[in-house]
Structure 1
Amino acid sequence: MGPVRRAVEELTSAQAKAELAMLAREIAAADLAYHQADAPVMPDADYDTLKRRNAAIEARFPELKRPDSPSDRVGAAPSEAFAKIRHSVPMLSLANGFEDADITDFAERIRRFLNLAADAPLAFTAEPKIDGLSLSIRYENGEMVQAATRGDGETGENVTANARTIADIPHRLEGAPEVLEVRGEVYMSHADFAALNERQEAAGGKTFANPRNAAAGSLRQLDAAITAARPLRFFAYAWAEISEPLADTQSGAIARLAALGFSTNPLMIRCEGIADLLAHYRAIEARRATLGYDIDGVVYKVDRLDLQARLGFRSATPRWAIAHKFSAERATTLLEAIEIQVGRTGALSPVARLTPVTVGGVVVSNATLHNADYIAGRDSRGNPIREGRDIRVGDWVTVYRAGDVIPKIEDVDLTRRPAESQPYSFPETCPVCGSDAIREPGEAVHRCTGNLICPAQAVEKLKHFVSRDAFDIEGIGAKQVEAFFQEGWIREPADIFTLEVRHGESLRKREGWGEKSAANLFRGISERRSIPLNRLIFGLGIRHVGETAARLIARSYGSWARFQMAMEAAREHEGEDWETLNNIDGIGPVMAASLVDFFHDPANRAAIERLVAELSIEDVEAPSTEGSAIAGKTVVFTGTLEKMTRAEAKARAEALGAKVAGSVSARTDYVVAGPGAGSKEKKARELGLTLLSEDEWLDLIG
């Protein structure tokens, strides 16, 4: 990935040439992933940033513009799996605007090009920009004869048989021109997308990240029967080759397409000027979450078709149209409910249930609300956040998501708050077991005091125990834990290792199971009877003891016998074993107290003894970091690694004495970025940190 990018004004000609080459490669790879594989490798916001950077460098160094410049390219080459159709009229993309000023500039450029006075009438259409897959459908003498994807803009994929299965696309038109190519967007509604993913998951098939991927993957099936089984829809918004005009204006032509039987977007309107365009943009943005399908902006087009003809085209975009994009990492939606989840340590975590909306390429229906203070509009010190605005059920909220960060609520629109809304009252009892929920001095969270009698805590501890970074038991995940707990088959970790003896026959006869699936589960359990010490410590779910701390503790004590003996001998704030524990680098008094308290609880100690009796615990030796270039350094991995798995890279770094962090901060020494790195790479650049490609990382560690 190289060093932090300089401002365009600071680039030398040689630097600009090298960066244009790199941008061409990155954007081409992203285009292939998005348009051909239906598997985006980066968020839309990061892609747009690369395109703007490329355009800015080309504007300053026009002599360096490459023959394969992304500015002149539309989409990606069609897949070899489909027959090809050459478009009679190229399917171009649109220029993008991100700020109101971009739209003002767009209108002023048009006036200058047409030599129109500032007060001369100039009307536009404004319509939602559907986030789907572009499709061109050709009719001859009213009969549908072929349908093609955008492809690279010149040549697309023949998906005629698949397009015929979409209910919104007429097979025959009455009163249409002799030749008519209709263009529009294939998409999937939120409700249909959710239902499809449920069916896919139930059948053990692939689930989709968002409706756009689902629509694109469904249309580009080699078997049209699969497409027919998918709930695809279509909005018509343009035309290409045509034997006679549909109308004199864009708005009139779209009305004619509707009269011919096509679905057109009901939110398209005619606007008399910039103020009307921006007002409609705000109105559509406010309704975005309730439309029931994904949009990523608003498209503006000059309404008069004779003016469109005069304005013409640039190399890859029309001069008479622009897409006013929404923020890819933020969206406004309705907060339908606030639910409380109880974690394995008893923490009561409020979760916002939202009207689903796509943010950063992922459908978001939940967002964290952190704690009671955050909901009330203040931080842990009592200082106002969001200018003191609280969060209530029924509010319209701004949700943001950057990269792989959990969705969060950024702000509240008080102008849309219902008159009858009431402040949220945080529960004083556990919603699961009814025990008191207390907030200890100095803590931000409320905790259930039910401990062992609280089913929610027990289930979450078991989920943690079988999780990937703990015991990682193949065949048993969160759903299986919940089912087995509800059945009464497992109540503590030791029960997992006696499950076959106690309930093996019952499981084989259970709905959804059988001989093979049960055998796979029991084999997975058996394989985890031998476990490294650090995984066991982490799997116990001791409060404040994370994966890194568990590894530090395991390396310090080496064996389970020494660790258990030290914990039982330790006394809080006194004794040699207590001092030894506190002297481990990275283990503070809070974590030390949590460890000691855990092992001095009689119920915990009894459960540990039952578990250890089923296990063979592997000793852990402290690795030698002599000669390591990264010993003591903090490393963050982001994006897709191609020569090793993320787990392998993490293990290798830690073996060489590095600390692997999950987020980027000013204390980070190295950020190793693969394709699709997203927000972590962006933050690293902003902080001026050292960015390494995977190859550079491998060179560094030898």
Structure 2
Amino acid sequence: MRDKSDIAKQAEELREQINRHDRLYYVENAPEISDQEYDDLFAELEELEEQNPEIVVPESPTQRVGAEPESELGKVEHVATMLSLDAVRDKTEIADFLDRLREAVEDSDVTLVAEPKFDGLSIEVIYEDGQFCRASTRGDGQKGEDISHTLRTVRALPLKLQDTGREAKELAVRGEAILPRSSFQAVNKARVERGDKPFANPRNAAAGILRRLDPSEAEGVRFAVTFYDATGIGLAEARGQWELLAALRDLGLPVIGERTRCGSLQEAEAFHDEMQERREDLDYEIDGIVLKLDARKERENLGQRSRSPRWAIAWKFPPRMGETRIADIVVGVGRTGALTPVALLDPVDVGGVTVARATLHNAEEIYRKDLRVGDTVRIERAGDVIPEVAERVPQPGVERSGPFEMPDCCPSCGAKVERRGPLNYCPAGIACPAQLVARLVHYGARGSMDVEGLGEKTAEQLVERDMVQDIADLYDLSVEELTALDGFAEASAKALHDAIHARGEVPLDRFLRALGICHVGADAARRLAMAFGSLQAVKEASRAEIEQVAGIGEETAQSVAAFFDEERNRDVVGRLLHAGVSPQAIEQLDQSLKGRTFVLTGTLERWTREEATEEIERRGGQVASSISGNTDYVVVGAEPGSKQDEAKEESVEMLDEDAFAKMLG
């Protein structure tokens, strides 16, 4: 039998090897072994520790995973205030900044350190006696959310600092947690394929994943981390920013690689232009550069404003407008079973909104526009809201990838795909996990049954754990069963249980919409509810009778009739009614708006778009999607789109929110 001290020594040697290779990979960017060789070392250490649990130490690479989920994110007070930066885009403002520095330090030869401005999640990480202690988000600058449980799963972050001889009892380092573009697209691809809404951009993705209560959701996601500032004993000899970064690197912490010293506006501009030119080739998002006075003592003398330092400034890049690259094309499955191709894009600014995805509608649309992975495309926001790929931008001399092909089998359940006109469908219905998850989320959404807490993550767990087979099963779930879900304590489980059962009396149109009948959105549901008055009347209506309802087309009528003819659907509806759901007829108000047509644009504070439409239609009016000769009023909310300009050109009367509210009475 081997001596325990020999086993402990072997484990420590393995840890040192793994930590060294982590440093080479994440800090030095100079890996010496293959991924397979690294995995073999890791597996050897895991086996050794599993067989000898007494030799496991908290800083072991194997201890990055497996922590229990948090019930909520606690608040952490920062060692020192985490400031934001003043941001400018004009070169003259940088010149003014340099002049202010020279005047303040009484030296015409100030030295700046220029660094990329990363678009990530700002973090503070605390090390005590060289060991990882805790990590937090920036928050309000004074206090942030404790994300220690998720950030310790990030392999780019050392759990133990290198021994450099510097005494640092407590070291607080500031930096960014970054989701590289390649990781971002992989995360979004997985989300779309399982029916989730993809993240808007890498920064939102990083924040969303690292602020999760369950650390297992961060495991396996390849993050990068970079540090650019610190406070703590033992770093006093780092007289400037440049030396500080070198000191952090010696400790084994990842620091900014692309940086330079500069002393003039011309040198700063050269770095700004270089990074802007390299921007698209980097595997991480940057949106400008940061200029910092190098001398730390002079920085202390300059001090800070309430939210930003006087010795640093961000020089932002011009926003990217319109054109970007298709990083991937993935196929999602909706609640009706329709397979929809989605373009995952390198994030681009379109009309002030960051766009990272765009629907491609169907295979015929892709073939018509000849879109392929890697293509440069022009993005538009249809109706100032929905992003879509307008066209491919030819790139002479650039080799293109092969044509896109829709899958033969459902990416969620593997069922053989059926072609219906231009669309592909999964025929499995609620036997398809993606469709069932989407139906649960749709049932609980605002505008349907409005069940607070029934979001994507909860629905996914209910389906994955086989706790529900249809929406009626929600009413059979106990508080104890819900408590077993990740991220749920007894209080949150009871809140969800109560929210499900609280939706007793519900307007008929919202109930019809919640059922997820194909082609029945808010407008069709409202028309059906107003025409038939009761659920029983809708259930008994023939296809021909449904077609007689104004605004209901042949396809929708066929879908509604077929839904209630299906025995399984009738059973689900019956169980919902038995559970206490009671659809109520829509109250008909005065018909003061009868014969008047409205168009809505912008965001209203008091109503959602659907609620405003409902208010109009309950008074006999109708809502159109575009302005025409029949338009009587355009209701204008915050940040209106081009419809406001059209209304002016066509001399259509415009109503602000107060005037609209007065008209509704």
What is the TM-score with the length of structure 1 in the denominator?
0.52
**In 2, Cα distance between equivalents of 1:136 and 1:152:** 16
Query: Which residue of structure 1 lines up, in the alignment, with residue 115 of structure 2?
Result: 127
Aligned to 2:319: 327
Tell me by how many angstroms 1:422 deviates.
Answer: 1.0
The Cα shift of 1:260 comes to 7.3
CA offsets 1:153-189 (integer angstroms, 9 cap, x no match) = 9xx56999x9xx996897998679x9x9998535465
- SS at the partner of 2:416? coil
Aligned residue type for 1:96? A
Contact (CA 8 Å) 1:135, 1:150: kept in 2 or not?
Answer: yes
Verify the 8 A CA contact 1:532 1:618 in the aligned structure 2: yes
**Secondary structure, in 3 states, of the residue corresponding to 1:437?**
strand
- 1:304-453 matches, within 5 Å, as 318=310, 321-325=313-317, 327=319, 335-336=327-328, 338-352=329-343, 367-376=358-367, 378=369, 390-393=370-373, 419=399, 421-427=401-407, 432-439=414-421, 445-448=422-425, 450=427
| Alpha-carbon distance in structure 1 between the residues aligned to 2:139 and 2:532 | 60
Q: Note the 1:17-416 alignment, pairs <5 A.
A: 94-98=85-89, 102-103=90-91, 106=94, 125-130=113-118, 131-133=120-122, 184-185=174-175, 187=177, 210-211=205-206, 235-237=227-229, 251=242, 254-255=245-246, 258=249, 263-270=254-261, 273=267, 276-288=270-282, 290-291=283-284, 295-300=286-291, 318=310, 321-325=313-317, 327=319, 335-336=327-328, 338-352=329-343, 367-376=358-367, 378=369, 390-393=370-373
Separation in 1, partners of 2:383, 2:232: 37
Deviation at 1:554, TM superposition (A): 1.4
* Residue number in structure 1 paired with 2:558: 597
Structure-2 residue corresponding to 1:11:
none
Note if contact 2:85-2:309 (Cα within 8 Å) is conserved in structure 1: yes
Separation of aligned partners in 1, 2:294 and 2:345: 37
TM superposition shift of 1:569: 5.0
Report the Cα distance in structure 2 between the residues aligned to 1:667 and 1:286, rounded to whole angstroms. 47
Choose the corresponding residue for 2:443, options 450, 457, 466. 466
CA 417–654 in structure 1, closer or farther in 2 if over 3 Å, else same: farther
Q: How far is the alpha carbon of 1:245 from its aligned partner?
A: 8.6
- State the secondary structure of the residue aligned to 1:556: helix
* Residues 417, 425 of structure 2: 8 Å contact kept: yes
In structure 1, distance between residues paired with 2:138 and 2:417: 59
Q: What is the CA deviation profile of residues 342-396 of structure 1, one whole-angstrom value per residue up to 9, with x for unaligned ones?
A: 4344533012457899999999886533333543463xxxxxxxxxxx4333557
Shift, 1:214, TM fit:
8.0
1:534 positional shift:
2.0
User: Which of 519, 531, 534 does residue 556 from structure 1 map onto?
Assistant: 531
Deviation at 1:548, TM superposition (A): 1.6
Report if aligned partners of 1:437, 1:449 keep a CA contact under 8 Å in 2: no
- Bigger drift between 619-628 and 548-557 goes to 619-628
Provide the C-alpha distance between the structure 1 equivalents of 2:247 and 2:483, rounded to a whole number of angstroms.
Answer: 58
Q: Distance in 1 between matches of 2:568 and 2:87?
A: 60
Whole-angstrom CA distance in 1 between matches of 2:517 and 2:353: 32
Matched, 1:624 2:589: yes
Structure-2 residue corresponding to 1:14: none
**1:670 aligns to what?**
635
- Which amino acid counterpart does residue 288 of structure 2 have in structure 1? G
Quick one: which amino acid aligns to residue 419 of structure 2?
A: A
Whole-Å separation in 1 of the counterparts to 2:140 and 2:430: 61
> What one-letter code is carried by the residue in structure 2 that aligns with 1:625?
D
Output the amino acid matched with 1:551: R
Which amino acid in the other structure matches residue 281 of structure 1?
A: M
Secondary structure of 2:404's partner?
Answer: coil
- Distance in 2 of aligned mates of 1:529 and 1:95: 51
Q: Alpha carbons of 1:307 and 1:408: their partners in 2 closer, same or farther (altered >3 Å)?
A: farther
Aligned-partner SS, 2:255: coil
Contact 2:441 2:455 survives alignment (8 Å): no
1:446 to partner: Cα distance: 1.8
d(CA) in 2 for partners of 1:377, 1:550: 33
Change (3 A) 1:340 1:663: farther
Residue pair 2:598, 2:624 contacting (<8 A) in 1 also: no
What letter is aligned with 1:323? Answer: W
What is the TM-score when the length of structure 2 is the normalising length?
0.54
The one-letter amino acid paired with 1:553 is L
What secondary structure sits across from 2:270 in the alignment?
helix
Distance 1:684 1:339 in 2: 33
SS at match of 2:371: coil
> Which residue in 1 is equivalent to 2:512?
537
Q: Distance in 1 between matches of 2:373 and 2:558?
A: 39
Partner AA of 2:526 in structure 1: R
Once residues 347 and 158 of structure 1 are traced to their aligned partners in structure 2, the CA distance between those partners, rounded to angstroms, is 42
Alpha-carbon distance between aligned partners in 1 of 2:426 and 2:208, rounded to the nearest angstrom: 44
User: RMSD of aligned C-alpha atoms?
Assistant: 7.0
Q: Secondary structure at the match of 2:529?
A: helix
Verify the 8 A CA contact 2:166 2:234 in the aligned structure 1.
no
CA distance in 2, matches of 1:96, 1:186: 17
Deviations 1:488-528 (A, max 9, x none): 9746x7xx37985xxx89x96997599x9999988877766
C-alpha deviation, 1:414, in angstroms: 6.9
Amino acid at match of 1:546: G
Rounded Cα–Cα distance in structure 1 between residues aligned with 2:99 and 2:575: 80
Deviation at 1:592, TM superposition (A): 2.5
Asked if 1 retains the 8 angstrom alpha-carbon contact of 2:101 and 2:311, the reply is: no
Letter in 2 for 1:556: A
Q: Deviations over 1:407-442 (max 9, x none)?
A: 666787876998472121345776643244243xxx
Q: Please give the secondary structure, in 2, of the residue aligned with 1:669.
A: strand
Shift of 1:267: 1.6
- Tell me if structure 2 keeps the 8 A contact 1:360–1:403: no
Counting aligned pairs with the same residue, the percent is 24
Q: 1:535 to 1:592 in 2, by over 3 A?
A: same
Aligned-residue offset at 1:655: 4.6
Q: Give the C-alpha shift of residue 699 in structure 1.
A: 6.0
Task: Determine helix, strand or coil for the equivalent of 1:323.
Answer: strand
Ranges in structure 1 where 5+ consecutive residues have no aligned partner:
1-80, 199-206, 219-230, 379-389, 440-444, 571-576, 674-679
Residue 127 of structure 1 aligns with an amino acid whose one-letter code is E
| SS of corresponding position for 1:335 | strand
State the aligned residue count.
534
Residue deviations 1:548-577 (CA, integer Å, cap 9, x gap): 22112211232345445553554xxxxxx8
User: Once the two structures are superposed, what CA deviation does each residue of 1:74-122 show, in whole Å capped at 9, x if it has no partner?
Assistant: xxxxxxx9889998xxx87544344xxx23774598599989xxxx999
Note if contact 2:337-2:425 (Cα within 8 Å) is conserved in structure 1. Answer: yes
Is the CA contact 1:210–1:363 (under 8 Å) kept in the aligned structure 2?
no
Tell me, in whole angstroms, the C-alpha distance in 2 between the residues paired with 1:627 and 1:244.
75
Change (3 A) 1:660 1:283: same
Question: Unaligned 5+ residue runs, structure 2?
Answer: 1-74, 191-198, 214-222, 649-653
Does the CA-based 8 Å contact 2:375-2:400 persist in structure 1? no
Contact residue 601 and residue 644 of structure 2 kept, 8 A? no
Q: Does the 8 Å contact 1:128/1:297 carry over to 2? A: yes
SS at match of 2:372: coil
